[in-house]
Amino acid sequence: MCGRTACTLAPDEVSRACSYRSRGGQRRQPRWRDGDADKYRPSYNKSPQSTSPVLLSQRHFDKDAPVDECVLASMRWGLVPAWFKEDDPRKMQYSTSNCRSENILEKKSYKSPLNKGQRCVILADGFYEWRREEKSKQPFFIYFPQTPSGSSQEKTEDQDDLATSAQSKETSERACSAEGGAFDSTEEGEAPCEWTGWRLLTMAGLFDCWTPPGGGEALYTYSVITVNASPNLQSIHDRMPAVLDGEEEVRRWLDFGEVKSPDALKLLQTKNSLTFHPVSSLVNNSRNNSAECLQPVDPGCKKEPKPTASSKRMMSWLTSSAPTKRKESDCCESEQQQQKGKSKTPLKSTGALQLWLQGANKKPKTN
C-alpha cells in the first residue's frame, strides 16, 4: 500500500524535474494547468486527502492538444468517482487512496476511469512505509536511487552514499544555472537543460473528475495503483506502488490514444528498482512536516549518530557555497511561517534537498 508520501520541490522545480522528450526528440517542460501551481503545497509528509502534483496528457483538458503534450495538475489524493451522488466527497464510506492492480477491472470506481483513458502519474520525492515489529512499527522512506550525474568530480570510496550522490547533483544543477541555460523557458527552438536535481518517484495512477450534484467547481482526484512488493521491500510490506521507471514507461502510461488499456496494464509490474532507509517515528503523525521526517536514523541506536567523512565534506560544501538560485513558491514560504517554532528544521529558501542533506549522515540501505 501507499499511505504517505513526500514532495518537497517548489512548483517550478516539479516542472523541471519531470521534463520529457516529445516524439520529435525535443525536450519539453510540462506547464501547470491554469491555477494549479497555487493549489500545490510542498510537504515532507503528505497523507490522503492532501493535494499532490500529477502528470497527465493535455488532451484530457484540450482535445486539440498534441498527442504527446503533458501537463501538470494538482489533484486530491483519494479518488472520488464521477458517479458519486452525495454532495460532499468526505461522505464516501470506503478508501480509494490505493487501487490494487489485480482488481482494476473488477471495481466500478476504477474500471470506468481506466476505460476512459484517465491515466496519470503521481509525482513524489518518495513514499513512507511501516514495518511491523514486536511492539511497534518502524517507518522507512522509499525512493529511486540517486546517482551522480557527472564524472568531473573525483570518485571516493563512499561515493555510493546518498548524500555524496545528491551533492554531485546539486553541484551540477548550480553549474547549469550559472551557464545561463538553467531550467527556465528558453528561446524558441532551444531545448532546456536536463534536470540534475532529485529524481522524482513516478507512480502509476488513475484519476476522475467529480462535480457536486447541485453544481459547483469540479474536483479532480486520484488513486495510486499498487502491486506486489519487490524482493528488497517484502521485509517492510507486501505491497508497493506501481512504479514507472524511465521516460518511456511514463510516456506509454500517459498516451491513452496510442497505448490502449490492455497494453497499459502490462506496465504495472513489480520492479526491484527502489532503495530505502529507516526514518524517525516523527513521520507517524501527518501533522509533522519538517526535514526530520526524511533523515536517516539508526533504529537500534538512541544516541545521535556520528557524522561520516562524506557528511562532513558535504556540510563543508553547503556552508561554503552560495545557495542555488531556487524559486521557492509563496505557498512554501507560508508553510515556513506555520512551522516556525514547531520544528527544528523548517523549510528554507536554500532548498528542501539541502535541508535534508544537512541531516543525512547515515547511509541508506540498498539491499
Residue 2 among the catalytic residues: yes
Residue 102 among the catalytic residues: no
d(CA 70, CA 301): 46
Catalytic residue among 13, 129, 292, 335: 129
With a CB cutoff of 8 Å and minimum separation 6, the contacts of 25 are none
- 8 Å CB contact between 264 and 119: yes
Amino acid at 284: N
User: How many Å is the Cα radius of gyration of the chain?
Assistant: 20
- 8 Å CB contact between 244 and 203: yes
DSSP 8-state code for residue 339:
H
Using CA atoms of 236, 228, 45, 360 in order, give the dihedral in degrees to the nearest 10: 50
Output the DSSP codes for 128-159.
EEEEE-SSSEEEEEEE-------S-SPP-TTT
Alpha helices in the chain (DSSP H): 11-17, 36-39, 108-115, 162-178, 247-254, 261-265, 309-320, 330-339, 352-359
Return the number of other C-beta atoms located less than 10 Å from residue 189's C-beta: 6
Catalytic residue among 2, 120, 176, 332: 2
Alpha helices in 266-351 (DSSP H): 309-320, 330-339
Specify burial of residue 300 (Cβ count, 10 A radius: 0-12, 13-18, 19+).
exposed
Using CA atoms of 47, 242, 114, 210 in order, give the dihedral in degrees to the nearest 10: 10
d(CA 105, CA 115): 9
Active site residues per annotation:
2, 129
